[in-house]
């Protein structure tokens, strides 16, 4: 049979007896995924073995499998005479939200442990209840910077009304949260008339918080 692992459930494997899972998993694991795997494969295999070996075959705690990992679901196919096939799905991270925590595409905050691949995603810093809003604002900024092939690497709410962003060239951008979209239009004008002329190569930061003006600081 094909047992399924799913978050917040308890998995019951029926293999005809109540033998220890350590015996049933003496065969190697073959791990597959439809997407590129974020987890370190050696660490992931060890994690699965350790988690599953904690309990009897007939009563496995799902929390042991998914806790502190990138895993969102796994599907196994077991036969005594061949390797255990494990098809995994991992959380899709959209932002680093500090202290080794990540926000997933489904809005879940996770704190995976151990080794995993380096992620090229934005860092978002701000109150928990404003994270989704800050991500949306960072995407609006990213849309403007796409014209220059620049990528927003960090976006944060410094206080109640100050937004600070940084791109992968090292340039920082400072906005007022209340006037963000108005000031973003000024950035678009600035991109058209200044940055595309080559004058933006050594800009340290740009402050858009002034009324009808922009402060540009060069390094």
Say what the pLDDT of residue 11 is: 35
Contact 174, 163 (CB under 8 A): yes
Largest CA distance in the chain: 76
CA distances from 42 to 30, 213, 217 (A): 11, 54, 47
CATH 2.60.40, domain 4-90, yes or no = no
Tokens 């494990």 belong to residue: 86
Say what the pLDDT of residue 2 is: 43
User: How is 38-78 classified by DSSP, letter by letter?
Assistant: -B-HHHHHHHHHHHHHTSBTT-EEHHHHHTTSSEEEEEEE-
- Tell me the CB-side half-sphere exposure of residue 37, using CA atoms within 13 A: 18
Question: Tens of pLDDT along 113-165?
Answer: 888 988 999 999 999 999 999 999 999 999 999 988 899 999 999 988 999 99
pLDDT tens for the 219 residues of the chain, in order: 444 333 333 333 323 333 444 444 556 678 888 889 999 888 888 877 776 665 444 444 556 677 788 988 888 777 777 777 888 899 999 999 988 899 999 988 999 988 898 899 999 999 999 999 999 999 999 999 998 889 999 999 998 899 999 999 999 999 999 999 999 999 988 888 765 666 556 789 999 999 888 998 887
Specify the pTM: 0.75
Q: C-alpha angle 107/38/61, rounded to 5°? A: 70
- Report domain extents, the chain: 4-90, 126-218
- The span from the CA of 210 to the CA of 194, in Å, is 18
Contact 148, 105 (CB under 8 A): no
Buried b (16+ CB within 10 A) or exposed e, 198-207: eebeebebbb
- Indicate the class that CATH gives domain 126-218: alpha beta
DSSP bridge partners of 217: 205
Select from 70, 65, 75 the least CA-distant residue to 30.
Answer: 75
DSSP state of 47: H
Element (H, E) at 175: strand 172-176
């Amino acid at each position: 049979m094909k047992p399924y692992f799913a978050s917040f459930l308890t998995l019951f494997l029926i293999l005809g007896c109540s033998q220890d899972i350590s015996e049933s998993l003496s065969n190697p694991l073959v791990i597959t995924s439809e997407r590129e795997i974020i987890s370190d494969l050696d660490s992931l295999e060890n994690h699965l073995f350790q988690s599953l070996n904690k309990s009897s075959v007939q009563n496995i705690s799902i929390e042991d499998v998914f806790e502190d990992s990138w895993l969102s679901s796994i599907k196994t196919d077991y036969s005594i005479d061949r390797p255990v096939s494990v098809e995994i799905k991992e959380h899709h991270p959209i932002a680093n939200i500090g202290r080794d925590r990540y926000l997933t595409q489904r809005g879940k905050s996770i704190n995976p442990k151990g080794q995993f691949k380096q992620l090229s995603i934005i860092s978002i810093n701000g109150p928990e209840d404003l994270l989704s809003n800050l991500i949306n604002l960072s995407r609006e900024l990213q849309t403007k910077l796409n014209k220059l092939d620049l990528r927003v690497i960090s976006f944060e709410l410094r206080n109640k009304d100050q937004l600070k962003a940084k791109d992968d060239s090292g340039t920082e951008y400072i906005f007022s949260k209340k006037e963000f979209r108005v000031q973003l239009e000024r950035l678009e004008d600035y991109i058209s008339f200044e940055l595309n002329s080559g004058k933006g190569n050594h800009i340290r930061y740009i402050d858009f918080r002034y009324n009808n003006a922009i402060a540009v600081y060069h390094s």
